[in-house]
Structure 1
């Protein structure tokens, strides 16, 4: 089972959408979190250490993740999806983007 963590800023739109659609796969354990200090489910060192693969939505997320959790990023691959904050939760266009950009990294 592969542990997959999706990260965006506030954990309200992009990463929860990704969590919902990829949690349907039986070969993955999926969680999502946000990097903003006041989000409902913030990224923690434990989540970072848990993940085999971490998908961030933007380069700024990768930079923040690396600076805040460098010591916890021992084995996880961090992949930037380059998906801007232009979509609503479960937006069909966002779902297609996620499926297109994430799936090749999970084979």
Structure 2
């Protein structure tokens, strides 16, 4: 039987549609970010909350509008490898 997976989306910029928070980090088993600068920002601002949480950089330029269809497609393809167990 397949395990159900859930995902949340949050940004590291104060201007993001939804910003990341402690509750999101506690909830996550793994954290996926689009760019290295996002990982750097998270580790600088939330280092204690991230203990034991793997963070993976997807190397997707953060040049897309929120929920842009092209971005959704790229994310679905990129994230699939991290969800297979």
- TM-score tier after normalising by the smaller chain length: 0.7 to 0.9
Give the 5 Å matches for 1:52-67.
Answer: 52-67=29-44
Unaligned 5+ residue runs, structure 2?
Answer: none
Greater relative contact order (Cα < 8 A, sep 6+): 1
Change (3 A) 1:100 1:48: same
**Contact 1:49–1:74, Cα closer than 8 Å, also in 2:** no
Alignment TM-score, normalising by the size of structure 1:
0.65
Please identify which structure carries the higher strand content: 1
How many residue pairs match? The answer is 81
Q: CA RMSD in A?
A: 1.8
